Amino acid sequence: MADQVNVMLYGLGAIGSFYAFILNQSNRVRLTVVARSNYEAVKNNGLHISSINHGDHVVRPAKVLKTPAEAGETYDYVVCVHKAIDQSSVPKQLAPVVGEKTCIVIIQNGVGNEDPFREAFPTSPILSCVTWVGAKQDQPGFVKHQASENTQIGIFPNKKLDAATEKSRLDEFASLLRAGGTPLDVEANIQVQRWEKVVWNCAWNSLTTLTMLDTHTWLKSSDDSMPMTRRLMREVIDVARKCSVPIQYNLIDTLIDRILGMPPIGSSMQIDCKMGRPMEVDVILGTPVRKGRELGVPVPTLEVLYTLLQAINVRLKANAA
């Protein structure tokens, strides 16, 4: 088919499975997935998605692989939806499937996630996404998508490419997501949304993990919890602004109102910790702390949480090894 689009999805966990389902809905997409712990389940029985918004489906990708290298071909899009635990080790895994025309798409929490990919593939376009999809994989190959669903997408600009090329990749990939029936916003400067989401994740992911409480129980736990949460959010916004990412301080009120308007939640980091899996400490807290230090922005609250979470991660990584 002339306009067929060859897509590889790397990281078939809860969120990866959701986007695998969405992309597979488009009749233009020929989908390859790279799975790890759920490889046998998905290869043998397909990927089972149960979604409040989309209903129940079994997805059968064209190819289910254990590693990108097995593909023996390059792709139009390589979509990274793995946990950003050891981000700089991933580009070399992907090298066999990245050709001249490959566009990398990143759908992960965190900031700075794009950098190792830009370094490894300097002439490739990169699209960067923030996801507000809530999903979990209860057993290998069985994913539940809760009602929460939105994707923000934009270009991670590459000076080596002309803007029209990058825009055409953005338009095409956005059209594939739309064909799959998921809501999305195309953003002019996606770093704004990435940093806004990281303000959220620095707060709720860290605090729910360190306390093992849900968000609302944490906020009611003492007179100090709300002011500390607000201080933490403010520090991350200070860093973002110093990085020339124009975020307003009223985001703090917006995020507090948003969480209080929702049922209490834990976080993906809290789940990782409970399951004994390494957590995304570096892209969520590490980058803001490093940028803060580099640019002379005081981040004392953030530094304490980062230090504690790094220590817990040492334990989790030792258990996982």
Ligand X SMILES: CC(C)(CO)C(=O)C(=O)O
Minimal distance, residue 10 CB to ligand X, in Å:
19
Minimal distance, residue 160 CB to ligand NDP, in Å:
27
Nearest CB to ligand NDP, comparing residues 11 and 292: 11
**Cα dihedral 84, 199, 265, 209 sign:** positive
Chain residues that interact with ligand X, rule: CB under 6 A: 109, 132, 134, 201, 204-205, 265, 267-268
User: What's the alpha-carbon Rg for the chain, to the nearest Å?
Assistant: 19
DSSP state of 125: -
Q: Binding of ligand NDP at residue 182 (CB under 6 A)? A: no
Q: Binding of ligand NDP at residue 84 (CB under 6 A)? A: yes
CA–CA separation, 209 and 192 (whole Å) = 25
Nearest CB to ligand X, comparing residues 38 and 267: 267
CA–CA separation, 145 and 157 (whole Å) = 31
CA–CA separation, 172 and 151 (whole Å) = 15
Nearest CB to ligand NDP, comparing residues 13 and 180: 13
DSSP assignment string, 17-41: HHHHHHHHHSTTEEEEEE-STTHHH
Minimal distance, residue 218 CB to ligand X, in Å:
13
What residues are paired with 78 via a beta bridge? 8, 104
CA–CA separation, 75 and 176 (whole Å) = 15
Q: Judged by CB under 6 A, which of 4, 27, 37, 248 binds ligand NDP?
A: 37
Query: Stretches 65-73, 80-88, 216-224, 254-262: which one binds ligand NDP (CB under 6 A)?
Result: 80-88
Contact in structure between 186 and 153 (CB atoms under 8 Å): yes
**Binding to ligand NDP in span 136-165, by CB under 6 A:** 136-137
Which of ligand X, ligand NDP, none does residue 16 bind to, with CB < 5 to 8 Å depending on kind? ligand NDP
Which of ligand NDP, ligand X, none does residue 84 bind to, with CB < 5 to 8 Å depending on kind? ligand NDP
Site string for ligand NDP, 92-111 (x = CB under 6 A): ----------------xx--
Distance of CA 249 to the CA centre of its chain: 24
Element (H, E) at 190: helix 190-211
**Binding to ligand NDP in span 250-279, by CB under 6 A:** 268
Which of ligand NDP, ligand X, none does residue 11 bind to, with CB < 5 to 8 Å depending on kind? ligand NDP
